[in-house]
Amino acid sequence: MARASHIDLFDSAFLQRLEYLRVAARRIFAGTEPGARTGRGAGPGLEFAEHRAYAPGDDFRQVDWAALARLDRLLLRLCQKEEDLAIYFLVDASASMATGTPAKFDHARRLAAALAYVGLASLERVRIVGVDSGVRAHLEAGRGSMHLVEVLDFLRSLAAAGPTDLTRAVNEFLPHAPQGGLAVLISDFLDPAGYEKPLVALHGRKFDVWCIQVTDPADLAPPGPGDLAVADAETGEVLGVHMTEEVRARIAAEAARFMAELRAWCLERGIGHAEAPTRVPVDTLVLEVLRRGGFLR
């Protein structure tokens, strides 16, 4: 499939929608300080949040002495405090993303651009990482909407090629991201090795994790009936398939099962999940993610 041209990928209409998203995001996050998120910890903070029991090694200066006098227990004061937020967008650039109409890869890049712009406009530190069977390329965009051009140019430079190995890609990414933050993985998640290990690795490093699953109707219910030559986008292997309505229904049911299992798996572990069909406009999808909460605060 031919790649979308640079003009088509981020045309003037798309850029206008980005400005609309910036304004809409500001309304959604009204009252939230830019460049900061709320966390809990011992030490100086904005306001008291709660107590927790003292443990060996804790700073004695944070002991609540008034609580000790009342309760005869060593308790630490935990305060709400502002933490700098880094947002990492991991964009699946493997060959399976080149399929679809429009291409899933183009849809993923537009999603990454839109979400990155919201982050930049909120003065968060934004980094974009292209992944396939490893880390292919990365960009540290910095803060502020003036860096949008760098983000768009970087995303334009990526091409969908090569096999998918999200586990290896995440393992290569983590040593270069020592600070936690928000990790957004944009992918079709069609990895033969599964999605569990890479997501567990991100979650285990104290990242807030979001999965944005890009889907195309052809992935969910292939055309039919008739004799088809089906090519694996990543290995090039071609299989002959006699597509009957029964086979088509079974494939559609398996695709639905896969999506439901990924959604439930993420929900169980506190990982954000959103489906991103290629036929749904990017701004609609981004507003849905923002309104569900947990993306920037």
Q: Give the per-residue pLDDT at 41.
A: 47
Are 200 and 235 in a shared domain? Answer: yes
Residue 233 has pLDDT above 50, yes or no: yes
- Domain span at residue 157? 6-32+84-292
59 and 192 together in one domain: no
The answer on 230 and 201 residing in a single domain is yes
Within a domain: 243:
yes
Residues 126 and 186 in one domain: yes
Domain boundary (83, 111, 142) is at 83
For residue 257, what pLDDT band results from cuts at 50, 70 and 90? Answer: very high
Band the pLDDT of 3: cuts 50, 70, 90: very low
Asked if residue 212 and residue 249 are part of one domain, the reply reads yes
Q: CA-CA distance, 242 to 140, in Å (whole number)?
A: 48
Residues 202 and 223 in one domain: yes
If one counts the domains in the chain, the total is: 2
Distances in whole angstroms, Cα of residue 195 to Cα of each of 127, 168, 199: 22, 11, 6
One domain for residues 216 and 110: yes
Residues 175 and 274 in one domain: yes
Does residue 110 sit within a domain? yes
Q: What is the pLDDT of residue 50?
A: 67
- The answer to whether residues 77 and 169 belong to one domain is no
Domain identity same for 267 and 138 = yes
pLDDT tens string 151-207: 999 999 999 998 999 999 999 999 988 767 899 999 999 999 999 999 999 998 889
CATH code, domain with 89: 3.40.50.410
Q: How far apart are CA 121 and CA 247, in angstroms?
A: 48
pLDDT value, residue 39:
46
Residue 67: per-residue pLDDT? 77
Q: Are residues 215 and 96 in the same domain?
A: yes
pLDDT value of position 58: 66
Query: In this prediction, what percent of the chain has a pLDDT beyond 70?
Result: 77
* Averaged pLDDT of the chain: 82
- Choosing from 83, 114, 143, the residue where a domain stops is 83
pLDDT reading at 237 higher than 70: no
Q: Is 67 exposed, middle or buried (0-12, 13-18, 19+ CB in 10 A)?
A: middle
Residue type for position 283: D
Asked whether residue 281 is assigned to any structural domain, the reply reads: yes
Q: What is the pLDDT of residue 260?
A: 96
**297 domain-assigned:** no
Kindly state whether residue 58 falls inside one of the protein's structural domains: yes
Residues 14 and 144 both lie in one domain: yes
Residue range 41-76, pLDDT digits in tens: 444 444 555 677 777 666 677 788 787 778 878 877
pLDDT at 45: 47
Report residue 2's pLDDT band, with 50, 70 and 90 as the boundaries. Answer: very low
Global pTM value: 0.78
